[in-house]
Amino acid sequence: MPARTASSASRKVRGTVSTEDFEVYELDEEDPVLAPTSPAGPSGSLTPRGRAFAIALGVAALLVAIGVAAWYAWGAPTIRGKEVGFSVTSSESITITFDVAKPQDVTVLCVLDALNESYAQVGTKNVLIGPAEVFEQRFSTDIRTTETAVTAVVTSCSAVDPNSTDLPASD
């Protein structure tokens, strides 16, 4: 059996292919074929135009994020209630001391809850706080309970229209 060389093995092709099945194009050296333009260059890196667009897009996104953060920090009025302390006065009452921060010309309704040792609500009180000359105020009030409470919390404080007839009864 004769030894096969690398060149004879590479010439062996299964089946035959005719050049009649394909169109043959000649390369025109004076009018080269250009690849379609894209932001990525030949090695996948950005072209100068694509890089400038990416930088502009990043800067625009950063400015929008800063604007949204600034609006949340300074634009929206802040209303918050926070409990400072409480004192169990009897099995039917608890006293809560709480701070309310709000814009000076706003009326706020705060909902206060008394909770038992299972964190079930055993008393509630609505407190209406009108306009004031200061941003933050401290209040103390009693909450009547159906059983002994172990803590009292400020559940919510929200702005209300003081002339509204839909306000819950303030205790």
pLDDT band of residue 83 (cuts 50, 70, 90) is very high
pLDDT recorded at residue 78: 82
CA 123 → CA 4, 11, 98, distances in Å? 99, 95, 16
State the pTM of this model: 0.56
pLDDT recorded at residue 10: 47
Tokens 């919390």 sit at which residue?
153
Question: Which one-letter amino acid corresponds to residue 17?
Answer: V
Give 60's contacts (C-beta < 8 A, 6+ positions apart). none
Residues 79, 105: Cα–Cα separation, whole Å: 12
- pLDDT above 50 for 152: yes
Residues 147, 73: Cα–Cα separation, whole Å: 41
- pLDDT above 90 for 138: yes
